[in-house]
């Protein structure tokens, strides 16, 4: 005959394993914030799945303000900020799309806009289309005024989705 | 009087929670590889702790080959690759240093070298000093030959450690 407390013990053991595993897998709030960037913060599994299912090529676009006349070193650093910021928020918001982008060569394309107004238009359009994105404001230690918006990263996402908001822009 | 099977049940429950938690936290092999970059792949806790304990400011340096005469859009994309690659390998190799760098503004500086030989010298020196780094080879679809080494990211690491291998280079 099986002891009732043995059954209870086994049940508790199994439940405990599952609880421990689940707790460990919970996303940590706060991990991944950066001082100077604005990311979309809500995980959107529906959007992620849709982007992952769209197939085709994936890319990340770096939209650079050309009117600021930044030197190429400054552009390089700002694009580094934007790419890392979008990668990090993408890991949280659209992990499936990030994985597909990584497996297809991590394409990155730099495009240009000629004003802050044009940059903000792309930003609003990207958010309206649920695209992962990251806006960089410069700390203003060199070359430009503090808090100037310099670069917007859009994606990684399917090329067709990114092109729907940045397709009209020219290469930097 | 306490039943022996009750004690066993409770013990098994606790152990099971810990095992479940630990299994969930195990690093997944294969996550984080990229096609076109070469990262240092071994986690080095001693180095990470040393870098985290050094204090002061942290930075990531992007060493760009100036002799290739890449356009600024090309430089922007290549530096995006390098920054994301170094960030990703840093999350695995030197997570404490990454956290300190993120909390101090994620400084990124673009420097230049004038040849592949000079770039490789920095790369070997960075590896010898156990610095996290990421070398980018271009896929060669635009502007330059396939497999050309274009940008090397060094860090994120304490400024003094990064400067020990890149301090003699000029700003891009």
Q: Is A48 part of a structural domain of the chain?
A: no
CB pairs under 8 A between A and B: 159
Q: What is the dihedral of CA A45, A78, A101, B157, to 10 degrees?
A: -90
Domain extent at residue B133: 57-171
Q: Is the pLDDT of residue B71 over 80?
A: yes
Distance from CA of B129 to the nearest CA of A (A): 23
* Spatial distance between the Cα atoms of A94 and A125, rounded to a whole number of angstroms: 18
Beta carbons within 8 Å of B169's beta carbon, 6+ residues apart: B63, B111, B112, B113, B122
Residues of B in contact with A8 (CB under 8 A): 9
| CATH number (domain holding residue B72) | 3.40.1490.10
Q: Which residue has the tokens 């004038």?
A: B114
How many helices (H) and strands (E) would you count in chain B? 6, 6
Sorting pLDDT into bands at 50, 70 and 90, what band is B127?
Answer: very high
Output the pLDDT for position A27. Answer: 41
Q: Is A111 part of a structural domain of the chain?
A: yes
Q: What is the pLDDT of residues B14-49, one digit of tens each?
A: 666 655 665 555 443 332 223 356 554 455 677 787
Question: Measured between CB atoms, which of B14, B83, B171 is closest to A83?
Answer: B83
Residues of B in contact with A69 (CB under 8 A): none
Residues of B in contact with A106 (CB under 8 A): 34-36, 81, 84
Q: What is the mean pLDDT of each run of 10 residues along chain A (172 residues)?
A: 61 62 48 41 68 82 96 96 97 94 94 98 97 91 84 97 97 96
Helix (H) or strand (E) holding A85: helix A72-93
pTM: 0.74
Q: Is A141 part of a structural domain of the chain?
A: yes
Mean pLDDT of B151-155: 98
* Spatial distance between the Cα atoms of B63 and A171, rounded to a whole number of angstroms: 23
Q: Is the peptide bond before B156 cis (omega within 30 degrees of 0)?
A: yes
Distance from CA of B48 to the nearest CA of A (A): 19
Output the pLDDT for position B43. Answer: 55
Residues of B in contact with A60 (CB under 8 A): 80
Helices (H), B33-141: 45-54, 72-93, 95-103, 116-128
Q: Is B42 part of a structural domain of the chain?
A: no
Q: Is A88 part of a structural domain of the chain?
A: yes
Q: How many domains does chain B have?
A: 1
Q: Is A116 part of a structural domain of the chain?
A: yes
* Spatial distance between the Cα atoms of B85 and B134, rounded to a whole number of angstroms: 6
């Amino acid at each position: 005959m099986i002891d009732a407390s043995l059954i209870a013990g086994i049940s508790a053991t199994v439940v405990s394993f599952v609880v421990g595993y689940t707790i460990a897998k919970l996303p940590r709030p706060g991990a991944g914030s950066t001082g100077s960037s604005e990311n979309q913060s809500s995980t959107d599994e529906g959007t992620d799945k849709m982007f992952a299912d769209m197939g085709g090529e994936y890319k990340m676009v770096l939209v650079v303000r050309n009117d600021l006349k930044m030197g190429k070193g400054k552009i390089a650093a700002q694009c580094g900020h934007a790419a890392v910021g979008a990668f990090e928020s993408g890991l949280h918001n659209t992990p499936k799309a990030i994985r597909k982008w990584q497996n297809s060569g991590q394409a990155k394309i730099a495009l240009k806009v000629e004003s802050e107004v044009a940059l903000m238009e792309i930003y609003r359009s990207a958010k309206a289309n649920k695209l992962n994105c990251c806006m960089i404001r410069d700390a203003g230690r060199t070359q430009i005024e503090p808090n100037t918006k310099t670069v917007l990263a859009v994606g990684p996402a399917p090329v067709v989705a990114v092109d729907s908001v940045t397709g009209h822009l020219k290469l930097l």
